[in-house]
A and B are shown apart, each in its own frame.
Chain A
Amino acid sequence: MTTLPARPAAPTYDTPESDNYLTHDKGFLSWILTLDHKRIGVMYTASVLLSFLVGGIFALLVRTELLTPGRTFIDADTYNHFFTLHGAVMVFLVIIPSIPAALGNFVLPVMLGAKDVAFPRLNLFSYHLWIAGAVCTVVSLVMGSFDTGWTFYTPYSTTTTAGGVIPVIVGVFILGFSSIFTGMNFIVTIHKLRPPGMTWFRMPLFLWALYSTALIQVLATPVLAITLALVAVERIANVGIFNPAMGGDPVLYQHFFWFYSHPAVYIMIVPAMGIISELIAVHSHRQIFGYRFIAFSSVAIAIFSFLVWGHHMFTSGQSSLMNTLFSAISFSVAIPSAVKVFNWICTLYKGSISLNTPMLYALAFLILFTIGGLTGLHLATLNTDVHLHDTYFVVAHFHYVMMGSALIAMVGGLHHWWPKMTGRMYNEKLGMIACTLVFIGFNVTFFTQFMLGSHGMPRRYYDYQPEFQVYHVISTIGSYIMAGGFLLTAGYLVQSLVSGRRAPANPWGGATLEWECASPPPYYNFHEAPKVGEPYDFSNLKWDERGEGYVTVKPAEAKA
């Protein structure tokens, strides 16, 4: 009988690692010039959360203004600036970088058992580009901000008198490169730095998702950069590209824009799906159901994402034939999405489910994504979309997918890896309460908006008909509940940094490699190269009463 080589003992609460990536170097420069993917991930996370606060404040201002028809407390122009800023900040500064750049940066190399990403310097550069993009947005605010909507539709965007259009376009251009570099880095890292033994089908599903996302980032983002450059050229040099007054075509702009921005939706949701696969498998302590279907559906979604942009343009003046084709292809996205949801639910079946805060977020995702996905049917169907297009129904639909799914998954992932990133446990009870508040607040806010939209309330409206007020008031109350939930979350997360219990290496009982190194991980992640096993084989994990975490034991001991 062969004995397995002994694994390094996981550190427990009474033997904290004194030398970890947080304590390895000190000082401001050691952070801002670091090449360590973990520190870059942490800086991204902090920056993204700060941007989320800013975007959230704009959202609350918008919701508050909509409490009454007509003026509540700001004028129409200010309102237009606020909803534009809410959208632009949330899309370009928060959701697109939130999972790949923030959590992905931290988790991906550790999951691979690697020391770092393939190109650490490029990784740091992409973070610096993100900062530069954020600074451009602030410059735009100072120069008069912008009121174009986050979509920058021409000819409004090339003719508006708002002073901050050019700076923000430059900002989004730069943010695009930040995103491209992160994507390139991840593709190369996953191809070249997988440890021996980790075949493609032994990769954690989060990595499959990040890989699919990276493909979209690299292939789609350049189109956005070119498009926005053309908008800038038209605005500055009066070259007629999109403005019909100068011989351009505004519908061409929409094609260009959605050719990026539809795939961008999947830059947001595919990594979120990856996180959910991890959360559900780890907290159910069970082999994920239908691994290959989930992995391939990520790739399928990434491919389909390039073929459906025209469904944003069913009423734009695009030909009926094009609309028909795009409607048909759009339905195809429903299939891999449905496959994933059913697989996740089946992973719960005969699992050993620990209802921790990250798991609660994953369950919230399951419900919210089901609603968000199924309301996509209303919008892919041609004749119902004609009625619902550009109404609050669309607003509700994409908030269910972008916020209720992508952002909820990000927050769930943050809770999942928080002990790993910070070495501290947060207050579980408060975590569950906050998650419940967010879930309730979210549905109160956005389910109401489905009804607003199907009753005919157009989006981006400062003023509205009195008959819509009751829905708007309910929606605004929901947004306050949600804000309460997020404030509570911020509170206990900060509190955990100060006085949280020290985190064990493996608090949830995960089987992927990041749970084998200490919390927080050492500077080089692993003292010795970890041994690659099945990512979802939980049979060797045992609860350790003393460390209040899971430890890996030999198969024989686990049976005892």
Chain B
Amino acid sequence: MMSKLIMLTLAQTADGPTPPTFWMPTGASAHASNVDSMMWWINLIMWAFLALNTVLTVYFVWKYRHKVGTKFRTDGPDHNGPLELAWTVGPLLICIVLFIFGFKGYLDVRTPPKESYDINVTAYKWGWQFKYPNGAQSDDLVIPAGKPVRLVMRASDVLHSCYIPAFRVKQDLVPGRYTYLWFQSDFPTGMDQPTDGHHLFCTEYCGTGHSNMNRRVYVLPQEQFDAWTTKQANWLDEIPEEELYWKAGPKLYARCVQCHSLDGTKGIGPSWKGIWSRVTGGEGSNGAFADGSTYSGLIGAGKQYATAEDYIRASIYNPGEHLVQGYGNVMPTFKGQINDKGIDALIGMMKKLDEFDPKTGAWLKTPPTASAK
């Protein structure tokens, strides 16, 4: 009977996400209506008891106010067994009902259907990487509409937590373990505008960039989703070698921008400004490392890194080996995330940094036309 009432109060609309209400944001998953009706009932209990307590308190204080100097009343009861039993058992019953319904809803959130679409998720300080079964990767989460999706999640450094308010789901990512999260959204959002889609937040405190780990969740119809993953899997391959540094460079740099500036601002990691001069024996090549070595001492024929490219590649794949003085060992490895072509693109960008906007990393030149080629 109670579940019927819940259905009446908040019938899930089949034609679109539920609109935001006084308490809840827009709801766009199968779990959302469940959680929202539970919230609605608990809120009702809260308001009812709050009103009862407040009204009684205010009324009693006014009714039984004492005039200084007059006699104290002595007719108040000092206990009442049945009444006290009632307000022990009453709340107990309410709690049992809440527990049972919360538990049932929770089982749904925790138990993915057998036929789910798996996406691998890695959270790191401070970003997300989503890997799709066909090898495609993305920084924002893109999911097919109308299909249960299961996230297989791990963290590469500290605790993180994946929270999608519109789906009412959340799960911590724990280094050294896999955790799972599943949901299904039936309503495509499109992904043309940055404001399309839903929020995805990190909700486990993880340091400086914690609040910048917010990404979007885009829901696409199945055909569009398939087309997107196919394109995403091959995007680097389709770019000609000579256009790589300005087409792919800024896109890849978006993963670096949180820690590495282009304009010389000191961030979590060293700025890229002047990096090519430093690693090729130019200005700044005597810059020191935490272990006492210098750029010119490490890079060059016969040294640890034969070429500057070798050094850059090693710094991205194995960032902890040589730390620039003044910076901590915080960068995760990008091995398996950025392939050799991607490294080429980043190195190409480093070589021609003056062609890029020092704040945004956008390429400042106009693309060469076919004739200029």
Q: Which chain B residue shows the least CB distance to A285?
A: B72
B26-74 residues with Cβ-Cβ distance < 8 A to A are: 31, 34-35, 38-39, 42, 45-46, 49-50, 53-54, 56-57, 60-61, 64-66, 68-74
A39 CB–B CB distance under 8 Å: no
Q: Once the chains are docked, how many angstroms separate the CA of A366 from the CA of B39?
A: 23
Q: Once the chains are docked, how many angstroms separate the CA of A455 from the CA of B21?
A: 9
Please determine whether B53 and A387 come into contact, CB atoms closer than 8 angstroms: no
Q: Once the chains are docked, how many angstroms separate the CA of A249 from the CA of B54?
A: 46
Q: Given contacts A350-B76, A381-B42, A465-B214, is CB(A324)–CB(B103) below 8 Å?
A: yes
A487 CB–B CB distance under 8 Å: no
Please determine whether A539 and B74 come into contact, CB atoms closer than 8 angstroms: yes
Q: Once the chains are docked, how many angstroms separate the CA of A58 from the CA of B262?
A: 33
Please determine whether A349 and B76 come into contact, CB atoms closer than 8 angstroms: yes
Q: Once the chains are docked, how many angstroms separate the CA of A323 from the CA of B109?
A: 13
Return B360 CB to nearest CB of chain A, in Å: 15
A34 CB–B CB distance under 8 Å: no
Please determine whether A293 and B53 come into contact, CB atoms closer than 8 angstroms: no
A9 CB–B CB distance under 8 Å: no
In the complex, per-residue mask of B86-101: 1 if CB is within 8 Å of any chain A CB, else 0: 0110011001101101
B237-281 residues with Cβ-Cβ distance < 8 A to A are: none
Q: Once the chains are docked, how many angstroms separate the CA of A243 from the CA of B157?
A: 9
Q: Once the chains are docked, how many angstroms separate the CA of A161 from the CA of B25?
A: 37
Please determine whether B205 and A460 come into contact, CB atoms closer than 8 angstroms: yes
Please determine whether B50 and A370 come into contact, CB atoms closer than 8 angstroms: yes
Q: Which residues of B contact A347 (CB under 8 A)?
A: 76
Return B90 CB to nearest CB of chain A, in Å: 8
A61 CB–B CB distance under 8 Å: no
B174 CB–A CB distance under 8 Å: yes
A436 CB–B CB distance under 8 Å: no
Please determine whether B79 and A293 come into contact, CB atoms closer than 8 angstroms: yes
B211 CB–A CB distance under 8 Å: yes
Q: Given contacts A334-B91, A456-B163, is CB(A345)–CB(B56) below 8 Å?
A: yes
Return B353 CB to nearest CB of chain A, in Å: 25
A367 CB–B CB distance under 8 Å: yes
Return B332 CB to nearest CB of chain A, in Å: 12
Set B64, B88, B103, B106: member contacting A353, Cβ < 8 A: B64
Please determine whether B61 and A363 come into contact, CB atoms closer than 8 angstroms: yes
Interface magnitude class on chain B = 35 or more
Q: Which chain A residue shows the least CB distance to B73?
A: A352
B194 CB–A CB distance under 8 Å: no
B147 CB–A CB distance under 8 Å: no
Return B186 CB to nearest CB of chain A, in Å: 19
Q: Given contacts A324-B106, A352-B66, A386-B109, is CB(A381)–CB(B98) below 8 Å?
A: yes
Number of interface residues of A (CB under 8 A): 94
Set A315, A324, A378: member contacting B42, Cβ < 8 A: A378
A327 CB–B CB distance under 8 Å: yes
B131 CB–A CB distance under 8 Å: no
Q: Given contacts A317-B174, A349-B76, is CB(A76)–CB(B106) below 8 Å?
A: no
Please determine whether A461 and B57 come into contact, CB atoms closer than 8 angstroms: no
Please determine whether A463 and B212 come into contact, CB atoms closer than 8 angstroms: yes
A256 CB–B CB distance under 8 Å: no
A351 CB–B CB distance under 8 Å: yes
Q: Which chain A residue shows the least CB distance to B106?
A: A382
Please determine whether A287 and B158 come into contact, CB atoms closer than 8 angstroms: no
B341 CB–A CB distance under 8 Å: no
Set B80, B102, B161, B176: member contacting A390, Cβ < 8 A: B161
Q: Which residues of B contact A538 (CB under 8 A)?
A: 72
Please determine whether B171 and A315 come into contact, CB atoms closer than 8 angstroms: yes
Q: Given contacts A367-B57, A454-B24, is CB(A386)–CB(B168) below 8 Å?
A: yes
Please determine whether B88 and A348 come into contact, CB atoms closer than 8 angstroms: no
A56 CB–B CB distance under 8 Å: no
Please determine whether A341 and B53 come into contact, CB atoms closer than 8 angstroms: yes
Please determine whether B210 and A292 come into contact, CB atoms closer than 8 angstroms: no
Q: Once the chains are docked, how many angstroms separate the CA of A391 from the CA of B165?
A: 10
Please determine whether A80 and B64 come into contact, CB atoms closer than 8 angstroms: no
Q: Which residues of B contact A363 (CB under 8 A)?
A: 57, 61
A474 CB–B CB distance under 8 Å: no
A-B contact count (CB 8 A): 280
B175 CB–A CB distance under 8 Å: yes
A343-398 residues with Cβ-Cβ distance < 8 A to B are: 343, 345-355, 363, 366-367, 370-371, 374-375, 377-378, 380-387, 389-391
B336 CB–A CB distance under 8 Å: no
Please determine whether A384 and B38 come into contact, CB atoms closer than 8 angstroms: yes
Q: Given contacts A80-B207, A458-B201, is CB(A378)–CB(B64) below 8 Å?
A: no
Q: Once the chains are docked, how many angstroms separate the CA of A509 from the CA of B330?
A: 63
Q: Once the chains are docked, how many angstroms separate the CA of A413 from the CA of B177?
A: 48
Q: Given contacts A286-B72, A363-B61, is CB(A244)–CB(B207) below 8 Å?
A: no
A524 CB–B CB distance under 8 Å: no
Q: Which residues of A contact B344 (CB under 8 A)?
A: none
Q: Once the chains are docked, how many angstroms separate the CA of A543 from the CA of B22?
A: 51
Set A77, A317, A324, A342: member contacting B208, Cβ < 8 A: A77
Please determine whether A351 and B73 come into contact, CB atoms closer than 8 angstroms: yes
A284 CB–B CB distance under 8 Å: yes
A526 CB–B CB distance under 8 Å: no
Q: Which chain A residue shows the least CB distance to B166?
A: A456
Q: Once the chains are docked, how many angstroms separate the CA of A343 from the CA of B201?
A: 43
In the complex, per-residue mask of B175-219: 1 if CB is within 8 Å of any chain A CB, else 0: 111010000000000000000000101111111111110100000
Q: Once the chains are docked, how many angstroms separate the CA of A381 from the CA of B92?
A: 14
Q: Which chain B residue shows the least CB distance to A84?
A: B205
Q: Which residues of B contact A346 (CB under 8 A)?
A: 77, 80, 83
Q: Which residues of A contact B35 (CB under 8 A)?
A: 383-384, 386-387
Q: Once the chains are docked, how many angstroms separate the CA of A538 from the CA of B70?
A: 13
Please determine whether B172 and A315 come into contact, CB atoms closer than 8 angstroms: yes
A73 CB–B CB distance under 8 Å: no
A304 CB–B CB distance under 8 Å: no
**Chain B CB within 10 A, most for which of A331, A345, A367, A386:** A386
B352 CB–A CB distance under 8 Å: no
Q: Once the chains are docked, how many angstroms separate the CA of A341 from the CA of B77?
A: 16
Return A155 CB to nearest CB of chain B, in Å: 5
In the complex, per-residue mask of B102-143: 1 if CB is within 8 Å of any chain A CB, else 0: 111111111000000000000000000000000000000000
Return B356 CB to nearest CB of chain A, in Å: 23
Residues of B bordering A, CB below 8 Å: 20, 22-25, 31, 34-35, 38-39, 42, 45-46, 49-50, 53-54, 56-57, 60-61, 64-66, 68-80, 83-84, 87-88, 91-92, 95-96, 98-99, 101-110, 157-159, 161, 163, 165-166, 168-172, 174-177, 179, 199, 201-212, 214, 328, 330
Q: Mind listing 16 A-B residue pairs with CB under 8 Å?
A: A80-B210, A315-B172, A317-B171, A324-B103, A338-B87, A351-B60, A352-B72, A374-B49, A383-B101, A390-B163, A390-B204, A451-B23, A454-B24, A455-B23, A458-B211, A460-B211
In the A-B complex, the 8 residue pairs with the closest CB atoms: A244-B176, A456-B165, A383-B105, A381-B102, A382-B106, A350-B76, A348-B60, A352-B66
